[in-house]
Structure formats: C-alpha cells, structure tokens
Amino acid sequence: MSRDEPSGPDLVGVIADANSAGLKHVVIGGFSVIFHGYVRATRDSDLLVPDGEEADETILRFLELADGRRLSDDKKVTMDDIADAEHLRVNSRRGIIDIIRGGSPPLDFDTVFDRADTTEWEGQMVKVAALPSVVGFKRLARRPQDRVDLEELEAIHGDLPEEPIPGLDS
Amino acid sequence: MHGIRRHRAENGSSPSSIRRESLYPAELSGLSLNRRSSSGSLPIHALIRLGAYHEGMAVSRKPLLGPGNEGKWAKINRADAEQLRAFNMALTPTQRLELGQKLSQQAVSLLAASVKAGNVPRRALWS
C-alpha cells in the first residue's frame, strides 16, 4: 500500500514489520481501547517503545520496513531524528503510526510491557497494554477522545483501575 | 385526543390495522384512498382525517425527531449503547481488533473520498 493513498491503520502489518525489525513494543492508544472492549475507529497505530541505542536501531529498521516518513514534512527519518525524539509520528505503507517512548513509572516501557496482555492475532503474537496502563495513558493525555474512552471502558468494566501518575496525582 | 384513541372511543373497537400503525406502517401503505380499511370498519379518508394514516406512511402526532423528546431519546440511546457494549464484549479481543481495524480503514477510506470530492480540506487526513 502506498503512503500517498490513505487507507487507515493496518495494525497487523505494523506488528509484522515491528517483529521483523526486532522492535520491542506494546500496542497502546485506540487499538488498546478497542482490545479492551470499546470498538471504535482510530486514525493510527500507536506503539510504545523502549529508550536506548539498541531500541533506536530497531526503530530505524522498522521505519525502513514500513516505508515510514515523518508526517509533518515527509522527511525520511534518520538515527539522529530518532535519538532526539520522545515521540515520532510517521506516515507509512501501514498507515499513520505513532511511536512513543515510555514515561515515568507506572507508564514506563518495562512496566507496561511486563503487564501487557498477549494474544495471538493473524498468526503473530501481539502485546497490548493492560487496562491499568490504558487508563493511565488516557488520564495523562486528557483529550476529549480520552475522556470518552474512559467513560466507555468504565461502562464495560465498572470502576477502572487507577494508579497514581506522577505529575497528575502528586 | 389522539386519532387512534378517538377512533376507539367513537367506534368502540380497535381494528388491528390501526392499532399497530406505528409498528407496521407497511401494512397500512398497502391500502389506498377511496377504499375501506382491511377491517372494513372505517374508510381510509376518515383515517387520514384522524391523523392515523398518511399515504405511504403512518403519521405520529408527536414526531420523535422533534422537540420535547429528550426522555425518549435518552432511553433509546441508553438501550443502543448497552446493546453495542454487549455486542463488543461478546467478541474475543482479537475479533475486536479485527473489527476495529476494518472500521478504521473504512472510516479513513470514506474521509479520503470526501477529501477527493472537495468536501473536507486535505489536512483532515493527516491531523
């Protein structure tokens, strides 16, 4: 699929490319909300990725496989761009992909990765953020869509698991 | 008084074709002017005067798509939302991902068509 023909997020393809590149990741964002029961449309695939040089190299490999270019200026992403970035938004043959570094505990990569739900989908293993992590990300982001997501998840699961988020609850 | 109730009061009967007008408008649409209703109890033109029948559709005294129906809409929306949640939760997580992906791709495809047709600025695709 060409990057110039918007086709919506292809999460199966994103995961396939991430696995091929050896990129450790957890699915967060809209698809994690969908996974936990609120099925809605989303514009992009969001991946939480670790920090560090090794991770940066795999991110670059992943972007090459996915034919990803920075969304803001269509620039081919370099190692320097990746090393400096907390967040990369790219357009790719798999649709728009948001690549986000882990934050402070409990939203750091290791915690989110260790507690993630793992499932097999389309012949590959997928790691999706567990409900407490999803709630944490949503509480932190506070966009209108995040509020709707939390309301819907609460309607499905009852009281949501809330953990103290640095900068938000302290 | 509402047409149906007035009809019942005047005739002392409740023909099934009238009683079920809001649920089965198709049954009524099979009738035509200058004919008697299938029950034979009331001519069609009388039903029209009573507001119980309109050619091709049933006429409600208080349309749902009008003011003053907040309570009704809240009930409908609540039932819809509960039904949707139940449907979503009946799916496995991977079925949800599949459905979410398909839904997202359809949504973007529709948006792209709308951009192409000039209804939406192109930046809507990438915002």
Quote the crossing angle between the two packed helices A11-21 and A53-66, to the nearest 10°: 130
3-state secondary structure of B20: coil
Question: Residue A7 — pLDDT band, cuts 50, 70, 90?
Answer: confident
Supply the pLDDT for residue A124: 95
Reported as a single tens digit per residue, the pLDDT across A12-25 is 999 999 999 999 99
Structure pTM? Answer: 0.74
Q: CA torsion angle for A29, A35, A36, A42 (degrees, to 10)? A: 40
- Comparing A157 with B13, which gets the higher pLDDT? A157
CATH of domain A11-156: 3.30.460.40
Question: For residues A40 and A32, is the Cβ–Cβ distance under 8 A?
Answer: no
3-state secondary structure of A89: strand
B112 shares contact with chain A (CB less than 8 Å): yes
H helix count then E strand count, chain B: 6, 0
Residue to test with chain A: of B77, B92, B99, B108, most A Cβ within 10 A: B108
Residue A82 has which token pair? Answer: 């990746």
Residue numbers of A between 54 and 93 with CB closer than 8 Å to B:
71, 91
Supply the pLDDT for residue A159: 96
Q: Which residues pair with B57 in a beta bridge?
A: B54
Please state the domain extents for chain A: 11-156
Is the model's pLDDT at B25 over the cut of 60?
no
Q: Which residues pair with A90 in a beta bridge?
A: A70, A97
